[in-house]
Amino acid sequence: MTIEPPIEKPHHDSIFWVEVERIKPNPYQPRREFDEGALKELSESIRQYGVLQPLTVTRREIPREDGGLMVEYELIAGERRLRASRLASLSMVPVIIRTETHTDQEKLELAIIENVQREDLNPLDRARAFDQLAREFNFTMADIGRKIGKSREYVANSVRLLGLPDHIQNELVAGRLTEGHSRTLLMLNDRPEEQVVLMKEIMLKRLTVREAELIARRIAHDKIRKKGTVNPEIIELEKEFSSKLGTRVTIEPSSVGGKLVISYFSPDDLKSILEMIQLTATEDALSFLAGASVSQKDAADINAVVEAAAVENPELMDDRPQVERDYSSAEDADLYTIRNFTL
């Protein structure tokens, strides 16, 4: 038999026990991604404690050839619990039967509402579900917002994520990018190369959403600026500076002089830029000494610069591998410990 007596008095929210094999998936299931590891963990929990929250289904009666009726159930909400129950080899699961739900629109609405209220969808699954409601059932963003108890802006911002390139969507689903970072990257959809660079900076340097927005706006500003009458030599100098320092550099000329703007994202980033400038100056000086004929006075001046750099940053003049330098430092420190002296 399909059902056992209900746990409570029969009404549309009563809990019934239904055979797992008789529950069909919801064709409007908004969730696309299912983490296999998380499913296994859930199945182990279900194996030990059972399904604690009933699934939500609709009941369908299908005529049979012999004149009888075959009862079938279609899932509205609880896809993860159903899959995990199958992994746990359960034969029956608790369900709530929604008898008043029949249309495809109602099934999709209920599936979305249940998942959104439980925050059980990743940002892209949620965006696809909102988009499906808008396209197939002519809902406005405000209509969807009222259905799920969210603002129109929340719905619109979710749907905008579908405009991201596939490789960025993949990072979002994998959890390596947040929804806020992903919306920031939308600002650079027409500049794919810069978009990829910024995405990598966000992940490697762990930029905040605010920091990422500032960079994206600056890139967008650069695009507008470069469409104007900017001296091509200035643009080439910016590229050269950026390549040397490994960060974004802009030159803002004025009638007298101008500004050189070097972007950085953290105190450590600023320190590494400073070291790069000092290292470049030292290397240029050494290269000049090695390949040019200079007067004794010029050579003395250059040597003074190099020595000053060496005093301030002695590691810049040490060309040994880092491991060897660390070992040497530890060895020197150990040399002067008290155990090396005898009385």
The distance of Cα 160 from the centroid of its chain, to the nearest Å, equals 15
What are the phi and psi torsion angles at 263 (to 5°)?
A: -85, 140
Is residue 79 annotated as a catalytic residue, yes or no?
yes
Give the Cβ contact number of residue 29 at 10 Å.
18
Tally of CA atoms within 13 A in the half-sphere of 38 that contains its CB? 6
Strands of the sheet with 15-19, listed across from one edge:
15-19, 92-97, 55-63, 69-77, 23-24
Q: Residue 243 is encoded by which pair of tokens? A: 């390549």
- Which residues is 95 bridged to in the sheet? 16, 55
Please name the residue that has the structure tokens 């029949």.
102
Total residue length of the chain: 343
Q: What is the DSSP secondary-structure string of 286-313? A: HHHHHHS---HHHHHHHHHHHHHHHHH-
Active-site entry in 72, 79, 100, 106: 79
Q: What's the start-to-end Cα distance of the chain, in Å?
A: 94
Task: Find out whether 55 and 77 touch, Cβ atoms under 8 Å.
Answer: yes
As annotated, the active-site residues are: 79
